[in-house]
């Protein structure tokens, strides 16, 4: 399984003339062709909606987000994430390498599913042991 982080979704929402947008659509197309399951998480949707309300053009940004979420499924909350998150967050804190709470939760969800994370936030996600990262 592949999980798309917010950095990927943000780049996917950029203008079609933007090179990051083109790169993301190409990667999404490649993944779709492989048949590998893919999704984003409810946490990423929360982050993206914050961005909608920070935007100068909320209607357009919300419409763009909704279009993307029609293409990319969302993993909903699952009670099994509690333990995975608790373990990971405590581990990173003890090690002295914590990352943002939302990123810890996204990483925990990915680990729970044995998923790779597509992100440009390599500096944070690379601190998570056994997490496979795809840079976009």
Domain boundaries, the chain: 2-135
Q: Does pLDDT of 52 surpass 90?
A: yes
Extract long-range pairs of 107-114: CB within 8 Å, 24+ residues apart. 107/131, 108/81, 108/84, 109/3, 109/41, 109/43, 109/75, 109/81, 109/84, 110/3, 111/84, 112/78, 112/80, 112/81, 112/84, 113/1, 113/3, 113/75, 114/1
The superfamily in CATH containing domain 2-135 is 5'-nuclease (3.40.50.1010)
Q: For residue range 10-28, list pLDDT tens digits in order.
A: 999 988 888 898 999 999 9
Strands (E), 24-115: 38-41, 74-75
Q: Write out pLDDT tens, residues 26-42.
A: 999 999 999 999 999 99
The number of beta carbons lying within 10 Å of the beta carbon of residue 13 is 22
Whose CA is closest to 40, among 22, 31, 84?
Answer: 31
Q: What is the pTM of this model?
A: 0.94
What is the residue-averaged pLDDT of the chain?
A: 96
Q: What is the DSSP string of 103-114?
A: HHHHHHHHHHHT
Instruction: Please list, in sequence order, all residues whose beta carbon lies within 8 angstroms of the beta carbon of residue 94, skipping any fewer than 6 positions away.
Output: none
Q: Tell me, what DSSP letter sits at residue 126?
A: T
């Amino acid at each position: 399984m592949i999980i798309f982080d917010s950095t990927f979704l943000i780049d996917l929402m950029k203008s079609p003339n933007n090179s990051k947008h083109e790169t993301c659509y190409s990667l999404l197309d490649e993944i779709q062709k492989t048949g590998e399951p893919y999704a984003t998480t409810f946490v990423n949707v929360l982050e993206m909606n914050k961005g909608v309300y920070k935007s100068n053009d909320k209607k357009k940004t919300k419409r763009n987000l909704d279009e993307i979420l029609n293409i990319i499924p969302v993993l909903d909350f699952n009670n099994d994430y509690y333990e995975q998150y608790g373990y990971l967050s405590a581990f990173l804190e003890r090690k002295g390498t914590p990352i943002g709470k939302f990123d810890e939760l996204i990483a925990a969800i990915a680990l729970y599913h044995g998923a790779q994370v597509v992100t440009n936030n390599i500096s944070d996600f690379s601190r998570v042991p056994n997490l496979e990262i795809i840079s976009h």
